[in-house]
Amino acid sequence: MLNLWNPEHVSVAIGLITALLLGAIHGVTPDEHTWPITFSYSIGSYSTRGGMRAGLIFSLGFTLQRAIASELAFLALAGFLMHSSTESVVYAIVGIVMALSGYYILYRGHAIHLIPWVERLLPTVDDSHPVPLKLAFLHGIIAGWGTGAFATIIYTVISPTMPSAWVGFLPGLLFGLGTLLMQVIIGAAFGWWMQQQHLDTSDKAFVGRYVSGRTLLYGGVVFILAGLMGILAPPSLTEWGITTGIHIHNLDTINLGLVLVVVVVAGVGGTSMWQALRKVKRGDTQLA
């Protein structure tokens, strides 16, 4: 019988099935390493298909990282991922990439005008194009280095049970694919909701750019602050949590990760959506 809460002494087959199921749970429960980025790019795509593509591209990067980390865990080289400061460093790096992406989405043509040749290499962002998804893959690779209950189980319980280094990556790969499936569905849901707002194409493009840009920019700042707090503050402050009694990872405790999801997706994202729809109704489609 599978124990997804605390698997122990698993066989190879059971371990791989467990990794896939844990990935699916990880993808569907609120998680600070997936939801804020999937939300931002899915809304920016302003369609069901675009939202699915956003979840797919982001999760492909995430899956690649987890496969690499799983192989490192099999080779007993993933100890650095278990260090208490790793999560905080990942928060800070993810935040920097988010903030830079959001700034670029909002202010293309002004962000790096001193080096225009770089500007020409970057994807087009304007009110007639959906927010480009190329950076979502990079987000996935970076965010995947975050740790937590799911990563700990993969790296310390399941990956070491693989029979050889040739298949040491499989638990991480299957975990990533489980996450990918759920993120594609969630991305489609965000994109579908955006599609149902009965806006014309230019207004959808504006709302998508406004919401995704601000969510990435200001959400990134929140992540940077959380990362710095984790690095500088004592563990007693950064590792706090309130038990909820729900026996599901990511829902069992109200902690910094869950707070980040709520603040970025519901707070920054929700507020930006409300502001964007008001601006459209007034005919004001200025990003500033």
Determine the pLDDT at residue 236: 61
Whether 83 shows a pLDDT value over 50: the answer reads: yes
pLDDT attached to residue 168: 93
Residue 208, CA distances (Å) to 91, 173, 220 in order: 24, 31, 17
How far is Cα 264 from Cα 235, in angstroms, rounded to an integer?
23
The residue-averaged pLDDT of 248-277 equals 86
Is there a contact between 209 and 286 (Cβ–Cβ < 8 Å)? no
Of all residues in the chain, the percent with pLDDT exceeding 90 is: 25
Residue 163 burial by Cβ neighbours in a 10 Å radius (0-12, 13-18, 19+)? exposed
- Predicted confidence at residue 82, as pLDDT, reads 73
SS3 content of the chain, % helix, strand, coil (to 5): 70, 0, 30
What is the rounded average pLDDT of the residues 243-258?
Answer: 80
Question: Region 29-44: what's the mean pLDDT?
Answer: 84
17 touches 154 (CB < 8 A): no
- What is the distance between the alpha carbons of residues 40 and 133, in angstroms, rounded to a whole number? 10
List residues bridging with 242 in a β-sheet. Answer: 254
Query: Which residue(s) pair with 241 in the sheet?
Result: 255
pLDDT band of 49, cuts 50, 70, 90: confident
Looking at mean pLDDT, say which of 10-14, 113-117, 129-133 comes out highest: 10-14
Cβ–Cβ under 8 Å, residues 279 and 210 = yes
Which pLDDT belongs to residue 181? 92
Contact 84, 256 (CB under 8 A): no
Beta bridge partners of 255: 241
Q: What is the pLDDT of residue 152?
A: 86
pLDDT 10s digits, 152-165: 889 988 998 899 99
Taken in order 107, 112, 116, 122, the sign of the CA dihedral is: negative
Q: How far, in Å, CA of 81 to CA of 97, rounded?
A: 20
What stretches of 122-200 show up as alpha helix (H) in DSSP?
134-143, 149-153, 170-195
pLDDT at 112 over 50: no
Torsional sign, CA 85, 90, 93, 94 = negative
What is the DSSP secondary-structure string of 163-177? SSGGGTTHHHHHHHH
pLDDT band (50, 70, 90) for residue 117 = very low
What burial class does residue 262 get, using C-beta atoms within 10 Å of its C-beta: 0-12 exposed, 13-18 middle, 19+ buried? Answer: middle
Which bin fits 270, alpha (ψ -120 to 50), beta or left (φ > 0)?
alpha
Map out the domains of the chain as residue ranges. Answer: 12-282
Look at residue 76 in the predicted model and tell me its pLDDT: 86
Q: Return mean pLDDT, the chain.
A: 82
Residue 247 has pLDDT above 80, yes or no: no
> Given this model, what pLDDT does residue 237 score?
62
pLDDT mean over 180-195: 87
**Which pLDDT belongs to residue 169?**
94
Q: Tell which residue, 218, 200, 201, 202, has the closest CA to residue 40.
A: 218
Residues 180-208, mean pLDDT to the nearest whole number: 84
**pLDDT for position 241:** 76
Which residues of the chain form beta strands (DSSP E)? 241-243, 253-255
Does residue 131 carry a pLDDT above 80? no
Tokens of 57: 């591209």
At a CB cut-off of 8 Å and minimum separation 6, what does 158 contact?
A: 7, 10, 15, 16, 18, 19, 171
Q: Find how far residue 226's CA is from the centre of its chain.
A: 15
Q: Average the pLDDT over each of 163-167, 172-176, 253-257, 277-281 and give the range with the smallest value.
A: 253-257
